[in-house]
Structure 1
Amino acid sequence: MYTTVNEDGVLNNYATEPKMYYAQYPAIWEQRKYVLQGVFATLLVTTLVLVGITVS
Structure 2
Amino acid sequence: MPYTTEEGGRLNNFAEEPKVYQAEAPDKKQQVTYIILGALGFLLVVGLVFVAFSVSA
Q: Letter of the aligned partner of 2:55 in structure 1? A: V
Identity %: 43
Unaligned runs of 5+ in 2: none
Give 2:45's aligned residue: 45
Note the aligned Cα RMSD (angstroms): 1.5
2:4 corresponds to 1:2: yes
Q: Which runs of 4+ in 1 moved over 6 A?
A: none
TM-score (normalised: structure 1): 0.80
Partner SS for 1:17 = coil
Q: Measure, in 1, the Cα distance between the counterparts of 2:43 and 2:14.
A: 46
TM-score (normalised: structure 2): 0.79
Unaligned runs of 5+ in 1: 6-10
Bigger proportion of residues as strand: 1
